[in-house]
């Protein structure tokens, strides 16, 4: 086994004025998304203006820590093009519709699943992967069934 591969970090996001609240929320295990107050659309990834209406009146919405969704599309990566990813191939990159935020889609890896088992329409839930002291990355895992107390039983 090549232990050097485990020492090579994966790419971390650059924080800027547009995305800092997103990454600060992720560090707390919460998903914050921008909503355009002019047209109501979700703006993700965060950027200064709405692509739908060109509005600049935006508000951060907190979707909390138990975020669920559905796989919209995905790709399986079999060849690592950067050294920091060599130890995790094959892996899944998925774009998932976010429950409770119509029109919002978040791209991330799907973890804790065989790549052959990933399907479009698969229910997923968000998990939080700490990559550095300051960066926690939202990821997806297959959705666990709701516990009886979560179903109101």
Q: Which residues, 6+ apart, have CB-to-CB distance to 94 below 8 Å? A: 71, 72, 73, 74, 75, 107, 108, 109, 110, 118, 124, 140
Read off the pLDDT of residues 73-89 as tens digits, 9 standing for 90 and up. Answer: 999 999 998 888 888 89
pLDDT over 50 at 1, yes or no: no
Residue 145: CB atoms within 10 Å: 8
Strand order in the sheet with 58-62: 42-43, 32-36, 58-62
pLDDT over 90 at 148, yes or no: no
pTM of the predicted model as reported, rounded to 2 decimal places: 0.84
What distance lies between CA 141 and its chain's CA centroid? 10
Confidence class of residue 3 from pLDDT cuts 50, 70 and 90? very low
């Amino acid at each position: 086994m090549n232990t050097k591969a485990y020492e090579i970090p994966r790419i971390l996001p650059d924080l800027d004025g547009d995305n800092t609240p997103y990454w600060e929320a992720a560090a707390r295990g919460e998903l914050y998304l921008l909503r355009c107050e002019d047209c109501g659309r979700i703006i993700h990834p965060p950027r200064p203006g709405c692509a739908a209406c060109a509005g600049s009146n935006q508000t951060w919405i907190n979707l909390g820590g138990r975020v669920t969704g559905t796989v919209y599309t995905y790709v399986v990566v079999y060849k690592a093009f950067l050294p920091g990813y060599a130890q995790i191939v094959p892996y899944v990159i998925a774009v998932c519709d976010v429950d409770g935020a119509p029109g919002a889609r978040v791209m991330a890896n799907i973890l804790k699943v065989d790549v052959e088992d990933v399907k479009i329409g698969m229910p997923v839930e968000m998990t939080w992967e700490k990559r550095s002291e300051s960066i926690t990355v939202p990821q997806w895992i297959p959705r666990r069934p709701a516990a009886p107390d979560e179903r109101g039983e």
